[in-house]
Amino acid sequence: MIATASGARALWYLTRATGLVSILLLTASVALGITEATRWARPHIPRFVIAALHKNISLLVVAFLAVHIATAVADNFAPIGWLDVVVPFHSPYRPLWLGLGTVAFDLLLALIITSLLRARLGYRIWRAIHWISYACFPVALLHGLGTGSDTRVRWSLLLTIGCLALVLFTVWWRLWTARGTPVVRRTWGGLGAALVVWLILGWTFTGPDAPGWARRAGTPASLIAGASIQPTGSLNLRVPFNARLTGTVRNHSTAGNRVTVSISASLSGGALGAMRLTLEGAPLRDGGMRLGRGTATLGTTSQPFRYTGTVVGLDGTAIRARVHDATGHAITLAVSVNIDPSAGTLTGTVSARAATN
Ligand code: HEM
């Protein structure tokens, strides 16, 4: 099914929202797991309650991650495929930081599966594997900070710092109460955990929280558009304009002999911005397609859905679309593209005019 313009926006919001909920739940799961290991309990909070919460919250993380991952793949703004969900560092979109999400997800799956098979595996093997939960949390956190659109949003950054602080506190508490372990080992453990937190915070403020991160993180040039040139996020899309296009094209065959073409392109020259077109229709013998329906968005990386609308015409390599902003101000786009099918890239031009009706 083709995503509508508002559907595409909904997918992007869902990826972000479920990513944030997943990291909050993962934090709760790790903190409860550590609490369980300290054997802490109160008369009104017995240990079995903490164990049940730990187990159920861990399963809930997987449920939220399923939505997070499915929406990240379905939203075709960034080139993320199903292989990227299990094979790390494979996607051309922010490969390292997205790859860390894949690693965290793989680790989490290993933790959950071995916990469900705990009786069969035996306590020693299960416990040895469960140690990787200490790696899963910071790896997932680095993924969220390095990939997320909300890293520079203050409340989101504060939430992430809160997650780090809670896990650090519970690790220290675990070490403090581990009376059977030599003091030297506990001290080094506590210092090591503090060092990891300090390094993550230092990297956050000089990396994802600093200008230019989208480019340094490995965002494909076709998606960056004018955002880094215009750090305030303001658009340089003063209508009318004529601009050059460079970008990527993806073709998917869908059920019932339908084909969907997704175009992501950046605008330069007469305007700075990013444009996405999704066209769905029936394939033609000459390699073209008869348009059934299509959606169009125009904006920047920070505001990719500033204008949304529909594709209203397709004639060979000429595409016409009509988009409008939140105030209802409508513009028509006349797009002309040259596609290199083997490389999956395109160049072209776009002219924008105020819509007359
Ligand atoms: C344990 C596993 C994972 C956790 C806890 C997690 C969590 C997060 C968090 C917290 C964010 C930042 C959201 C924001 O800034 O609003 C994020 C962003 C993102 N994640 Fe994940 N993630 C995980 C795995 C994955 C995987 C396997 C994929 C896909 C292959 C993925 C795709 C994405 C994408 C595309 C974004 C950027 C969304 C945006 O534009 O903000 N994540 N993730």
Which atom belonging to ligand 1 lies closest to the Cα atom of 80? Answer: 30
Expressed in angstroms and rounded, the spacing between residue 148 Cα and the centre of ligand 1 is 6
Expressed in angstroms and rounded, the spacing between residue 146 Cα and the centre of ligand 1 is 9
pTM higher than 0.85 for the full model?
no
Is 148 near ligand 1, meaning CB less than 6 Å away?
yes
Q: What's the confidence (pLDDT) of residue 229?
A: 36
Is 141 near ligand 1, meaning CB less than 6 Å away?
no
Is 349 near ligand 1, meaning CB less than 6 Å away?
no
Which atom belonging to ligand 1 lies closest to the Cα atom of 78? Answer: 35
pLDDT over 90 (residue 306)? no
Pocket test for ligand 1, best of 9, 13, 15 (most atoms within 8 A of CB): 15
Which of 136-145, 262-271, 301-310 has the highest average model confidence (pLDDT)? Answer: 136-145
Expressed in angstroms and rounded, the spacing between residue 81 Cα and the centre of ligand 1 is 14
Q: Residue 59 — very low, low, confident or very high, per pLDDT cuts 50/70/90?
A: very high
Check if the beta carbon of residue 85 is closer than 8 Å to that of residue 143. Answer: no
Expressed in angstroms and rounded, the spacing between residue 144 Cα and the centre of ligand 1 is 5
**Atom 23 of ligand 1, residue of closest alpha carbon:** 101
Phi/psi at 83 (nearest 5 deg)? -65, -35
Task: Supply 355's token pair.
Answer: 């819509």
Is 65 near ligand 1, meaning CB less than 6 Å away?
yes
Better-predicted residue by pLDDT, 286 or 16: 16
| Long-range own/partner contacts, residues 160-163 (CB < 8 A, 24 or more apart) | 160/23, 160/204, 161/201, 163/23, 163/24, 163/27
Instruction: Output the average pLDDT for the chain.
Output: 87
Mean pLDDT across the stretch 172-184? Answer: 93
CA distances, 105 to each of 26, 116, 188, 259, 272 (Å)? 11, 16, 28, 31, 36
Which atom belonging to ligand 1 lies closest to the Cα atom of 84? Answer: 30
CA dihedral 126, 129, 131, 132 (to 10 degrees): -150
Q: What's the confidence (pLDDT) of residue 301?
A: 62
Q: Residue 325 — very low, low, confident or very high, per pLDDT cuts 50/70/90?
A: confident
Q: What percent of the chain has pLDDT over 90?
A: 54
Is 106 near ligand 1, meaning CB less than 6 Å away?
no
Q: What's the confidence (pLDDT) of residue 196?
A: 95
Domain boundaries, the chain: 5-216, 221-354
Better-predicted residue by pLDDT, 222 or 60: 60
Q: Residue 76 — very low, low, confident or very high, per pLDDT cuts 50/70/90?
A: low
